[in-house]
Amino acid sequence: MPVGRSLEHVVEVLRACAGKRCGEENVVIVTLRCSDLRAYGKALQHPGVYVFVDPSDGTVYYVRQAKNLVRRLKGEHCNVHIGGSEEVVRFLMLLLDEICECAGEWRAGSVKKRENYVKSMIRHFLERLVIYVAYCREDSLLEDRRTRLAIEKCLKQRLNPILNP
C-alpha cells in the first residue's frame, strides 16, 4: 500500500474481501495491537484473516489467514516465536540492518541474551503496528482453508503488503 493511504482504506478493503465470502453484514473487524491480545482471550478464537499496518503512514506490512486468529497472533507473532513462524522471520529480516547497527549492545552477551535482545527489537516494532483482524459471525463460513486463502489473496492484491506481496 503506498504511503499516504488511510487506515480506513485498509478497513474498506478488508470488509470488501471478507464480505465476498461471508457477506458484508456478517464481517467482524477488530483493531488491536499485540499488547491487547491478552484481553481478547477466547474472543478471537475464530478462523479469519489479519493485516499488520503501520498507523503512522499506512504501510501494510503483512497479510495472512489463520484457523485460530488468537493462537496465531498471540502464540507466534506477538510472542516473537522465531523458530516456529515464517512470518516472524520476515519481520526479523526487515529489521536486520537495525539489529546489526546495535551490535555493540548485544555482541558481548550470551547466546540467550542476544536472542532476547533480537526478540525485544521485533516485539517493539510489532507493538507499533496496528493489527486488523476480520472474521465472519458464523465461523463455519471460514473453516475451509481455501476460503481463507481466497480472502488473503484478495487482500494481497489490493493492499500490496511489503513482506508478502
Q: Which three cell numbers stand for residue 108?
A: 558481548
Q: In what order do the strands lie in the sheet with 27-32?
A: 27-32, 130-136, 48-53, 60-66
Question: pTM here?
Answer: 0.90
Q: Which of 102-106, 122-126, 151-155 has the highest mean pLDDT?
A: 151-155
Question: CA separation (Å) from 122 to 115, 116, 127?
Answer: 11, 10, 9
**pLDDT tens digits for range 2-47:** 455 689 999 999 999 999 998 888 999 999 999 998 888 777 899 9
| Amino acid letter for position 147 | T
Is residue 149 scored above 80 in pLDDT?
A: yes
Please tell me the least confidently modeled range out of 10-19, 45-54, 76-85. 76-85
Phi and psi (nearest 5°) for 78? Answer: -70, -25
Return the C-alpha torsion angle 85, 58, 40, 123, nearest 10.
Answer: 50
Q: Where are the domains of the chain?
A: 7-159
Q: How far apart are CA 132 and CA 55, in angstroms?
A: 11
pLDDT at 5: 66
